[in-house]
Amino acid sequence: MTARITNFQRFLQIIRDGNYPETCIEWWGGKNSHGYGLVTFSIRSGLEGRMYVHRLALELSLGRELRDDLCALHRCDNRICFNPDHLYEGTHSQNCQDSHDRERRPSRKGSRHPLAKLTEADVTEMIRMGSQGMLQREIGAVFGVNQQTVSKILRGDRWTHIDKSSRQSPSPAQPEAR
């Protein structure tokens, strides 16, 4: 029986468990025009980032990002499958669809330095994901930064001004206007 998944949290759970079935695990959430499964997450209000679900699955199972010039390729020819055992790294010459459709940063294409890619809204979202129990390497894979960077952000070593305002709860009463 093929598992069909639409829920991002369930997707993460399967990858974490690591006991992948022999059959395909199919993503029944969003797809692109080529029929590949896409995960969508909010970058900030009104702006969404998207990423191939199979690429994210392979990166998480390998514990590292794929180089930008490499793609996650299917052994099973099932474009909505994200079973890491059915995926492997390949080059553009090997019928590689995914690089041009990969849109982690719709407004900042071409940015290279990991920290330069992150906006304040990203950092707020990362803190939110961390508070919901997502692992640092999972958050890193979504935002295209490594686990160490996520760790520093969640500890507040970077972006301290964001960190403070996101964690303060509840916000102190404002002095009354006169």
Contact stretch for Zn ion (CB under 5 A) within 7-15, 51-59, 74-82, 148-156: 74-82
Report the alpha-carbon distance of residue 128 to residue 167 in Å, rounded. Answer: 9
- Among 66, 171, 161, residue whose Cα is nearest residue 123: 161
Other beta carbons less than 10 A from residue 27's beta carbon: 26
Report the alpha-carbon distance of residue 104 to residue 138 in Å, rounded. Answer: 14
- Among 52, 61, 63, residue whose Cα is nearest residue 103: 52
Contact stretch for Zn ion (CB under 5 A) within 1-9, 76-84, 100-108, 142-150: 76-84
In the shown chain, the binding pattern of residues 10 to 49 toward Zn ion, with x for contact by CB under 5 A and - for none, equals --------------x-------------------------
Q: Is 87 in the site for Zn ion (CB under 5 A)?
A: no
Residue 80 or 127 having the CB closest to Zn ion: 80
Residues that bind Zn ion (CB under 5 A): 24, 76, 78, 81, 83, 86
